[in-house]
Amino acid sequence: QVQLMESGGGLVQAGGSLRLSCAASRSIAGIIFMSWYRQAPGKQRELVAIMSTGGTINYADSVKGRFTISGDNAKSTVYLQMNSLKPEDTAVYYCKMSVGAAYWGQGTQVTVSS
């Protein structure tokens, strides 16, 4: 069973930066999409950024220009560079890798203080 493990979350002041990492416990063949989601307290999980193996990248409007997704399919790793963080970015962040099935990480907490 493949497991995804996120790291890099934490507490940061508004305007600061964090870099989230997500690595699979073993190489995943045939990844179609690598993505990051987040879920704030009392809210639904939402897509933050998604990257296809073809190179197409899309971001939620709320993070455009501040967050950057990158990854390495061969290593089954995905990253999320988060700059100019705002208190409203506070959430648990989850990585997801889609093959036919979808693999999810356990989540990492990001807290942005004002």
Region of 42 please: left (phi>0), alpha (psi -120 to 50) or beta: left
Say which amino acid occupies 24: A
Residue 76 above 90 pLDDT? yes
Residue 1's pLDDT is: 84
CA distance 51 to 90: 22
Task: Enumerate the β-bridge partners of residue 78.
Answer: 22, 71
pLDDT tens digits along 12-70 = 999 999 999 999 999 998 889 999 999 999 999 999 999 998 889 999 999 999 999 99
Specify whether the CB–CB gap between 65 and 76 falls below 8 A: no
